Chains A and B, each alone.
Chain A
Amino acid sequence: MSAPDSEAMEAVTDFLRKCNPSADSVDWDCDLIDARILDSLTFVEFLLLMEEFSGGPIDLGTTDVANFRTLNRISAFLTKAGTHEQP
């Protein structure tokens, strides 16, 4: 993993490392579900982290799970949600 670019991404990488230590070495384009870093058990908690840092509820009826499959997409999602501008 390259250096996290915000408090949010740091929390994300911390969380993923606890799910699976191999998360430390994954590429930012690596599919986290295929790599078995995120799974059915950890995804529930992961979504809460996304809600906390994006500042609002996430409805999976309207938000595609694909937004959370790679670190790059997670970062893009949080940027779009405005997190990166917040102090």
Chain B
Amino acid sequence: MEDSDFGSMLARLSEKSRNEYYNPYTKFSWPDSVSEDAWWMNPEYLTVHGTGLVEDERTLKALARYETVNFFSLHVHGIRELMIEVAKRIHTPDFADYNEYLHHFIGEENAHMWFFAEFCYRYTGGIYPEAASPLRREGHGDLWDDVVVFSRILIFEEIFDYFNSRMGKDQLIPDILREIHAAHHHDESRHVAFGKQLVKRLHQRACAADPERRDEIEKYIKDYMTYSVRSLYNPQAFRDAGVDKPLEVRRKAMQHPVREAFHVRVMARVDRFFVASGIFGTPWGEGHVSA
């Protein structure tokens, strides 16, 4: 994409953000309660789907509730961390071209964090804590760190969009959940369009300045994809749903061939993007032995 095309895309996306702006705090009509007899998530999106590891319907319904909480919690923690990185860059010389759009991004993500957390606090025991790593995050130099940050955001948004775009239309789940998924899907389609073009440009810039680290970054981004897939399988959700031997069942579900094929499908769009833009030499899905 040429500079002028990218500029007009930015202007178009910013205008869309302005026109479609909504007040997240008044957008939803929150019911008094959400029935536990309902499927909070279509069973086909449960992490154990297709594995035969959990069969009891009561347990599966409970898992649908706790995996909904996990999914929403992932957005809260994931986006908090990434918003910090975006906030560090907005109105700095390297990101001057993107200021306007980054304001919309931060504002919209702040809204998403609020409604995802609000659902969990209203109807459940609240969000799950984040699975923090005791090891400090590796640095790759400023220019490559820019690539890593926006690639992480893109991966994150594509995973969410896989589920949001489907659950936002799913008549099986309670209205409030369907509305939340649909609202998020609506905003994220802009973010993903922007993210892809930005990641490409940042990658070209980093390659020009420091080509040596290219392979290291490809590995890191792929590892982050694996890490993201794993985060869908929260051991605490398995425990809370009353699954027997939760860690073992979780591990077996995650490594099940049916699930591995599913992970590749969830990642297909972003994986294709990374290959097509030359950021990956080979697809993540190909070398993907086990998430």
Residues of A within 8 A of B (CB): 18-19, 33, 38-45, 47-49, 51-52, 60, 65
Chain A residues in 8 Å Cβ range of B136: 40
Q: What are the residues of chain B within 8 A of A38 when measuring CB–CB?
A: 135
The reply to whether A39 and B223 contact each other, CB–CB distance below 8 Å, is: yes
User: B137 at interface (Cβ–Cβ under 8 A)?
Assistant: yes
With an 8 Å Cβ cutoff, the count of chain B residues facing the other chain is 21
Asked, given contacts A39-B223, A45-B230, whether A65 binds B135 with beta carbons under 8 Å apart, the answer is: yes
Are B138 and A18 touching (Cβ within 8 A)?
no
Binding site for A on B (CB under 8 A): 131-138, 220, 223-224, 226-227, 230, 235, 247-248, 250-251, 289-290
Contact partner of B223 (CB less than 8 A), chosen from A33, A41, A48, A49, is: A41
Q: At the interface, is chain A mostly helix, strand, loop or mixed?
A: helix
Closest A residue by C-beta to B223: A41
| Residues on the A chain within 8 Å of B289, using CB | 18
Q: Of all chain A residues, which has the CB nearest B289?
A: A18
The distance from the CB of A52 to the nearest CB of chain B, in whole angstroms, is 4
The 3 closest A-B pairs by CB, nearest first: A52-B247, A40-B135, A41-B227
B187 to chain A, nearest CB (A): 27
Q: Shortest Cβ distance from B31 into chain A, in angstroms?
A: 35
Asked whether A43 lies within 8 Å of B133 as measured between CB atoms, the reply is yes
| Cα A40 to Cα B281 with chains together (Å) | 24
Q: Is the CB of A40 within 8 A of B138?
A: yes
Assembly CA distance A83 to B136 (angstroms): 29
* Contact in complex: A44, B133 (CB < 8 Å): yes
Which of the residues B134, B226, B230, B290 comes within 8 Å of A65, measured between beta carbons?
A: B134
Q: Is A41's CB under 8 angstroms from B134's CB?
A: no
Task: Report the Cα distance A48→B235, complex, angstroms.
Answer: 8
B135 pairs with A33, CB closer than 8 A: yes
| Complexed CA–CA distance, A23 and B42 (Å) | 39
CA A65 to CA B132, docked complex, whole Å: 13
Residues of the B chain whose Cβ atoms lie less than 8 Å from the Cβ of A48: 235, 247, 250-251
